[in-house]
Amino acid sequence: MDSPRFLSRTDLLGLAVLAVLLVVILPLTLDVFRLNLVAKYLTYAFVAIGLVLCWGFGGILSLGQGVFFGLGGYCMAMYLKLEASSVENTKIQSTPGIPDFMDWNQITQLPWFWQPFHSLTLTIVAILVVPTVFAYLIGAAMFKRRVGGVYFAIITQAIAAIMTILIIGQQGYTGGINGITDLRTLKGWDIRPDHAKVVLYFVEVAFLFGCILLALFVRHAKLGRILVAMREKEDRVRFSGYSVANFKIFAFCLAAMFAAIGGAMFTLNVGFMSPSFVGIVPSIEMVIYTAVGGRLSIFGAVYGTLLVNFAKTSLSESFPQLWLFGLGALFIAVVLIFPNGLAGIWRDNVQPLFGKLISKRKPGSDHGNGKPFGSVADGAPAE
Amino acid sequence: MFGDYSIGDLGAIFAMQGFAGLILFSVYVLMALGLAIIFGQMGVINMAHGEFMILGAYVTWMTSNLFQSYLPSLFAGYFFIAMILAFIASGALGMLVEWGLIRHLYKRPLDTLLATWGLSLILQQAYRSIFGAREVGVELPQWMLGSKQVTDTIEIPINGMFVMALTVLITAVVFYLLFWSRWGRQVRAVMQNRVMAGAVGINTEKVDRYTFGLGCGIAGIAGSAFTMIGSTGPTSGQLYIVDTFLVVVFGGAASLFGTIASAFSISQAQSTMEFFMSGSMAKVLTLLAIVAILMVRPQGLFALKVRK
């Protein structure tokens, strides 16, 4: 794939297939409840795409993506909560005009860090900036000192743990273990009825395509190539004069921002935010979505997320016990048997068949033989 | 925060919290020793370490039930047998896991993290299916109950002292095994240079398997010791895994001495702060401090100086 264009034909085909699936097939075939479930799954796809960038391409495994997902989600939730707790809505409280859980915890004044969330503009800025700055601080502190790999994974995991303990412990400011619930309107527009859910779904899909395009752009730009080179032989890239740390920080920040957008959309779609989407367990589950989809494939991440979540919902509805066995087996199978996930299976097994059937081009040619999971890294090793 | 206490009060508080911290310290050391062997020596990230501990706890619980029903006269001593059984059970499971899973992943440490996380999910569900979702508590023999009064402000529970004694013993055994025994020399040789160790005739596969088994076995003993302090449920293991990894990383992964030093400082910091603020804030501050120090000293407190 030496094409200088940032969208190769395979990428365009992949985008088209995904667009048909998300914009046409799913909305036509699913009722609103199921469509809202898909919307919930897709919020994790934002995280998964970010992980493809920083883990698949950059080789930085972050086990703290839940933190960024949660930061985005909490920013959105704080805005919605303030709107829901206007003075007339909360007049039965001892201090009207503040969120109900603050009232229960004997807090009489809105804390300073809640103040900016009266404004939607500031909220949107916060959703994008707060997680990115946080990721920058972590990334700069770690990568400048050449901490990476296993140590980075463990430290991000610790940060996820700290975040959960903090949110649960500071009940008066964060809603504690219940999270921020009972969210109603966005700028006066009710987010709860069915038609709002459908609108939110399409808005989310639009954002998702925005993120996919950005990720494809990064992947095909020089930046993406340097990321892959770094993953393979970090020292050689460093000796060639590139600032390895800065590239890693950039990938990590971008992944954090994607996760935050997903988190904000999650709050809008689901109507609440709680610490159970922030901690270690959800963060690791987000990694498995990426791994199942294929850690090198941006489209694969979306399909992996959808597939694992569909499996989770349907299996845990009917066989709650089997689900954890299944998820555990999935972790092990992805690592041991197909490290490149669905995209790898597609590329190695299905696509050659297709190539033989529908195209008479040489098997080595890269374009025009119809593969949705197109964005596999150049010269990536099979492992 | 210190203003309301007199100097004498503060002294007593520090002494009392210090002893509470010592018990926490013993628990951390027991948890972290096994991980220090597996992660520090072998480089494998074992996210299922907590589940190996829980296995030890369940074995202890079963042993105590057996003794209560069939051998009530020997109940006072069941704990020693339970610990041996816990070591054997966790160690055997560890060797099985090494054979089936870990040995394929020695070159991909990050992937061991995912695979062992999957293993931990499977084990959790297995415990839930076998032992039920409820937490189980072990009945202690009479001689372990109660506490010993040291001064009029300080008293130490006997089971706490037992855990401390156990920790000292296990640590001594591990140090002997790793640094003085012939087997320990083989382990360290394999971990430093696998190819060269194989070339001089060491059976590296066997060494790997027994090392992993030893680490898991120690986790089993830690789980067994846990039953004296708290109750055990299918998901208890997950609560400890982050703490345990931080203890090992903070001390410097390859250094056993570092692990002990870091367990000591973390437990003392946490238990002292716990007196002055809520437990969750103490925990947050301790973890934050560790993360901050790790950012300054990424290799941990006691990094071995090796050429890579």
> DSSP string of B2-13?
-TTS-HHHHHHH
Query: What pLDDT, on the 0 to 100 scale, is given for residue B305?
Result: 62
* CB of B280 less than 8 A from some CB of A: yes
Q: Can you tell me the distance from the alpha carbon of B231 to that of B213, in angstroms, rounded to the nearest whole number?
A: 25
User: Residue A220 has which token pair?
Assistant: 């095909």
| pLDDT tens-digit readout, B134-151 | 888 887 777 777 777 766
More confident residue, B157 or B303: B157
Q: Can you tell me the distance from the alpha carbon of B280 to that of A100, in angstroms, rounded to the nearest whole number?
A: 23
Looking at the whole model, is its pTM more than 0.90?
no
Chain A residues lying within 8 Å of B125, measured CB to CB: 321, 324-325, 328
Q: Can you tell me the distance from the alpha carbon of A85 to that of A97, in angstroms, rounded to the nearest whole number?
A: 6
Residue B136's DSSP bridge partners are: B232
Beta strand pairing call for B155-157 and B147-149:
antiparallel
* Yes or no, beta carbons of A165 and B284 under 8 Å apart: yes
Q: Can you tell me the distance from the alpha carbon of A36 to that of A46, in angstroms, rounded to the nearest whole number?
A: 16
* Yes or no, beta carbons of B294 and A146 under 8 Å apart: no
- Residue (of A237, A201, A229, A261) closest to A38 by Cα position: A201
Query: What pLDDT, on the 0 to 100 scale, is given for residue B152?
Result: 66
Query: What pLDDT, on the 0 to 100 scale, is given for residue B153?
Result: 63
Which residue type sits at A149? G
Chain A residues lying within 8 Å of B108, measured CB to CB: 335, 383
SS (H, E, C) B234-289: CCHHHHHHHHHHHHHHHHCCCCHHHHHHHHHHHHHHHHHHHHHCCHHHHHHHHHHH
Query: What pLDDT, on the 0 to 100 scale, is given for residue B228?
Result: 81
Q: Looking at A328-332, B179-183, B277-281, which range is the least confident one?
A: B277-281
User: Residue A204 has which token pair?
Assistant: 């989310």
Q: Which residues of B203-241 are buried (b: 16+ CB within 10 A; e: fewer)?
A: ebeebbbbbbbbbbbbbbbbbbbbbbeeebbbbbbbebb
* CB of B105 less than 8 A from some CB of A: yes
DSSP-assigned letter for residue B138: P
Check: complex ipTM more than 0.90 = no
CA A137 from centroid of its chain's CA atoms: 20
Q: What does residue B158 show for φ and ψ, rounded to 5 degrees?
A: -70, -40
Query: What pLDDT, on the 0 to 100 scale, is given for residue A382?
Result: 37
The Cα of A32 is separated from the nearest Cα of chain B by a number of Å equal to 32
* CB of B239 less than 8 A from some CB of A: no
Query: What pLDDT, on the 0 to 100 scale, is given for residue A367?
Result: 44
Query: What pLDDT, on the 0 to 100 scale, is given for residue A356?
Result: 72
Contact in structure between A64 and A226 (CB atoms under 8 Å)? no
Query: What pLDDT, on the 0 to 100 scale, is given for residue B26?
Result: 87
From the list A145, A325, A336, the residue facing B122 with the nearest CB is A325
Burial class for B160, CB neighbours closer than 10 Å (0-12, 13-18, 19+): buried
Cβ atoms within 10 A of the Cβ of B188, count?
Answer: 17
Consecutive 10-residue runs of chain A (383 residues): their mean pLDDT?
A: 64 88 88 91 95 90 93 93 83 81 84 88 93 93 83 90 90 86 84 89 94 91 88 87 90 95 93 90 91 90 92 83 86 87 82 70 45 41 38
From the list A151, A284, A336, the residue facing B249 with the nearest CB is A151
Which residue type sits at A349? N
Q: Can you tell me the distance from the alpha carbon of A11 to that of A86, in angstroms, rounded to the nearest whole number?
A: 47
Contact in structure between B266 and B221 (CB atoms under 8 Å)? no
Tell me how far CA of residue B115 lies from CA of A56, A291, A339, B128, B229, in angstroms: 17, 11, 11, 20, 30
- Residue (of A338, A360, A361, A363) closest to A351 by Cα position: A363
Query: What pLDDT, on the 0 to 100 scale, is given for residue B2?
Result: 57
| pLDDT tens-digit readout, B1-48 | 556 677 777 777 777 777 778 888 888 898 889 888 888 888 888 899
* Yes or no, beta carbons of B288 and A287 under 8 Å apart: no
Tell me how far CA of residue B146 lies from CA of B28, B83, B141, in angstroms: 23, 21, 11
| pLDDT tens-digit readout, B40-67 | 888 888 899 999 999 999 999 999 888 8
Q: Can you tell me the distance from the alpha carbon of B44 to that of A216, in angstroms, rounded to the nearest whole number?
A: 33
Q: Can you tell me the distance from the alpha carbon of B66 to that of A223, in angstroms, rounded to the nearest whole number?
A: 63
From the list A150, A166, A284, the residue facing B109 with the nearest CB is A150
Q: Quick check: B283 pLDDT over 70?
A: yes
Contact in structure between A133 and B265 (CB atoms under 8 Å)? no
Q: What does residue A190 show for φ and ψ, rounded to 5 degrees?
A: -70, 125
Which residue type sits at B248? V
Query: What pLDDT, on the 0 to 100 scale, is given for residue A375?
Result: 41
Q: Can you tell me the distance from the alpha carbon of A64 to that of A279, in angstroms, rounded to the nearest whole number?
A: 8
Q: Quick check: B210 pLDDT over 70?
A: yes
Q: Which residues contact A48 (CB under 8 A, 6 or more apart)?
A: A286, A289, A290, A293, A301, A302, A304, A305
Query: What pLDDT, on the 0 to 100 scale, is given for residue B122?
Result: 93
Residue B157's DSSP bridge partners are: B147
Residue A289: helix, strand or coil by DSSP? helix
User: Residue B93 has which token pair?
Assistant: 């499971």
Measured CA angle at B192 (ends B105, B173), to 5 deg: 95
Q: Looking at B94-103, B178-187, B299-308, which range is the least confident one?
A: B299-308
Q: Can you tell me the distance from the alpha carbon of B182 to that of B178, in angstroms, rounded to the nearest whole number?
A: 8
Residue A190's DSSP bridge partners are: A185
